[in-house]
Amino acid sequence: MKTFIKFIKDNPKTILTLISIAIGVVLMLHFGVDKKAVAIVTLIVGFMTNAFAGVVALITMVPIIGPLIIKVLTIPFFWLLNAMGYFTSAYAIKKGYGKDVMTHRLIVITLLIGIVLGYILGHLIPVR
């Protein structure tokens, strides 16, 4: 409970953002805005304000269960992003953009390898 109160004291902007998004959703639904539009607006505002990171931080603070929930939610999200990349690549190759797809895939693979190597080197060679 102490960590929850400390989180609220340390992150008032995140809490206010989450409350304002919730109030905005309730108001939009009350005034009859299309549910698809409400979802799109919520996603855009959530990504622009990093509100989803605040929700993840709140869920992570639940002892024992919180970190497990976040692991279960985030791993399939990255799998979904990767699958979408493969489907869009297949579609682009079918349309005749094979060379461009290969270039972009090579850039992504290089970036991922760089991130992994940076993570490993960062733990092997401490800065401090």
Please state at what angle helix 35-49 crosses helix 51-60, rounded to 10 degrees. Answer: 80
- CA-to-CA distance for 18 and 52, rounded, in angstroms? 9
Residue ranges per structural domain of the chain: 1-61, 66-128
User: For 27-66, how does the pLDDT look when each residue is reduced to its tens digit (9 = 90+)?
Assistant: 999 999 999 999 999 989 988 888 888 888 888 888 878 8
What percentage of the chain has pLDDT greater than the value 90?
A: 20
Asked if residue 4 lies in contact with residue 10, where contact means CB atoms within 8 angstroms, the answer is no
Give the pLDDT band of residue 128 (cuts 50, 70, 90): low
Instruction: Kindly report the pTM of this predicted structure.
Output: 0.54
Which bin fits 120, alpha (ψ -120 to 50), beta or left (φ > 0)?
A: alpha
Q: Is the pLDDT of residue 78 over 70?
A: no
- The DSSP letter of residue 65 is H
Q: Contact at 8 Å (CB) between 89 and 105?
A: yes
d(CA 73, CA 18): 19
Contact 81/112 with Cβ under 8 angstroms? no
